Amino acid sequence: DTGVSQNPRHKITKRGQNVTFRCDPISEHNRLYWYRQTLGQGPEFLTYFQNEAQLEKSRLLSDRFSAERPKGSFSTLEIQRTEQGDSAMYLCASSSTGVGYTFGSGTRLTVV
Protein backbone atom coordinates (compact mmCIF):
# COMPACT_ATOMS: atom_id res chain seq x y z
CA ASP A 1 0.00 0.00 0.00
CA THR A 2 1.59 3.26 -1.09
CA GLY A 3 -0.65 5.64 0.82
CA VAL A 4 -3.57 7.80 -0.27
CA SER A 5 -3.87 8.10 -4.03
CA GLN A 6 -5.66 10.95 -5.80
CA ASN A 7 -6.47 11.27 -9.47
CA PRO A 8 -6.07 13.26 -11.56
CA ARG A 9 -3.14 15.29 -10.21
CA HIS A 10 -4.13 18.30 -12.29
CA LYS A 11 -7.39 19.29 -13.97
CA ILE A 12 -8.04 22.33 -16.13
CA THR A 13 -11.67 22.92 -17.01
CA LYS A 14 -13.81 25.63 -18.50
CA ARG A 15 -16.24 27.50 -16.31
CA GLY A 16 -19.60 25.76 -16.25
CA GLN A 17 -18.24 22.26 -16.84
CA ASN A 18 -18.55 19.40 -14.36
CA VAL A 19 -15.48 17.71 -12.89
CA THR A 20 -14.99 14.58 -10.81
CA PHE A 21 -12.02 13.66 -8.64
CA ARG A 22 -11.18 10.27 -7.21
CA CYS A 23 -9.52 9.31 -3.94
CA ASP A 24 -8.27 5.85 -3.01
CA PRO A 25 -7.54 5.77 0.74
CA ILE A 26 -5.22 3.45 2.62
CA SER A 27 -7.07 0.15 2.45
CA GLU A 28 -7.54 -0.46 6.18
CA HIS A 29 -8.68 3.11 6.92
CA ASN A 30 -12.42 3.46 7.47
CA ARG A 31 -12.47 7.26 7.71
CA LEU A 32 -12.08 9.47 4.66
CA TYR A 33 -11.96 13.26 4.46
CA TRP A 34 -12.03 15.88 1.74
CA TYR A 35 -10.37 19.25 2.20
CA ARG A 36 -9.84 22.24 -0.08
CA GLN A 37 -6.69 24.38 0.01
CA THR A 38 -6.13 27.68 -1.75
CA LEU A 39 -2.75 29.37 -2.19
CA GLY A 40 -1.32 30.67 1.07
CA GLN A 41 -4.05 29.13 3.18
CA GLY A 42 -4.43 26.01 5.24
CA PRO A 43 -6.76 23.20 4.17
CA GLU A 44 -10.49 23.77 4.78
CA PHE A 45 -12.72 20.88 5.78
CA LEU A 46 -15.34 19.87 3.22
CA THR A 47 -16.75 16.50 4.24
CA TYR A 48 -16.11 13.28 6.17
CA PHE A 49 -17.06 9.64 5.64
CA GLN A 50 -16.95 6.77 8.06
CA ASN A 51 -17.12 3.70 5.89
CA GLU A 52 -19.82 4.52 3.30
CA ALA A 53 -21.72 6.96 5.49
CA GLN A 54 -21.22 10.69 4.96
CA LEU A 55 -21.29 11.94 8.55
CA GLU A 56 -20.33 15.59 8.30
CA LYS A 57 -20.52 18.28 5.63
CA SER A 58 -19.16 21.78 5.80
CA ARG A 59 -21.31 24.72 4.81
CA LEU A 60 -18.54 25.33 2.26
CA LEU A 61 -19.94 22.33 0.40
CA SER A 62 -22.55 24.08 -1.73
CA ASP A 63 -25.27 22.29 -3.70
CA ARG A 64 -22.87 22.11 -6.65
CA PHE A 65 -20.59 19.78 -4.68
CA SER A 66 -21.35 16.13 -4.02
CA ALA A 67 -19.21 13.40 -2.55
CA GLU A 68 -19.73 9.67 -2.44
CA ARG A 69 -17.98 6.67 -1.00
CA PRO A 70 -19.72 3.59 -2.35
CA LYS A 71 -18.94 0.40 -0.43
CA GLY A 72 -16.71 2.33 1.93
CA SER A 73 -13.68 2.11 -0.32
CA PHE A 74 -12.69 4.82 -2.82
CA SER A 75 -14.44 8.19 -2.84
CA THR A 76 -15.38 10.67 -5.54
CA LEU A 77 -15.90 14.41 -5.29
CA GLU A 78 -17.93 16.01 -8.06
CA ILE A 79 -18.27 19.71 -8.73
CA GLN A 80 -21.06 20.73 -11.07
CA ARG A 81 -21.16 23.96 -13.07
CA THR A 82 -17.65 24.93 -11.99
CA GLU A 83 -16.86 28.55 -11.15
CA GLN A 84 -13.50 30.33 -11.08
CA GLY A 85 -13.71 30.44 -7.30
CA ASP A 86 -13.57 26.64 -7.27
CA SER A 87 -9.93 26.78 -8.40
CA ALA A 88 -7.96 25.19 -5.57
CA MET A 89 -6.12 22.08 -4.44
CA TYR A 90 -8.55 19.36 -3.37
CA LEU A 91 -7.01 17.11 -0.77
CA CYS A 92 -8.20 13.72 0.37
CA ALA A 93 -7.10 12.13 3.64
CA SER A 94 -7.80 8.89 5.42
CA SER A 95 -7.51 7.62 8.97
CA SER A 96 -8.25 4.50 10.97
CA THR A 97 -8.49 5.81 14.50
CA GLY A 98 -8.85 9.50 13.75
CA VAL A 99 -5.46 10.12 15.31
CA GLY A 100 -4.00 12.28 12.62
CA TYR A 101 -4.62 11.86 8.95
CA THR A 102 -2.66 10.60 5.96
CA PHE A 103 -3.13 13.00 3.10
CA GLY A 104 -2.83 12.37 -0.59
CA SER A 105 -0.92 14.71 -2.89
CA GLY A 106 -4.11 16.39 -3.98
CA THR A 107 -5.84 17.30 -7.23
CA ARG A 108 -5.13 20.80 -8.44
CA LEU A 109 -8.17 22.28 -10.19
CA THR A 110 -7.93 25.31 -12.44
CA VAL A 111 -11.18 26.77 -13.78
CA VAL A 112 -10.66 29.06 -16.77
Partner 1 sequence: QKEVEQDPGPLSVPEGAIVSLNCTYSNSAFQYFMWYRQYSRKGPELLMYTYSSGNKEDGRFTAQVDKSSKYISLFIRDSQPSDSATYLCAMSYNNNDMRFGAGTRLTVKP
Q: How far is the CB of 45 from partner 1 (least distance, A)?
A: 5
The binding site for partner 1 (CB under 8 A) comprises 4, 31, 33, 40-45, 48, 55-56, 58, 91, 93, 98-106
CB-CB contact of 6 with 92 (8 Å): yes
Q: How far is the CB of 100 from partner 1 (least distance, A)?
A: 4
Q: How far is the CB of 53 from partner 1 (least distance, A)?
A: 13
- Return the CA Rg of the chain: 13
42-65 residues labelled b (16+ CB within 10 A) or e (exposed): ebeebbbbeeeebeeeeeebeeeb
69 versus 106: smaller Cβ distance to partner 1: 106
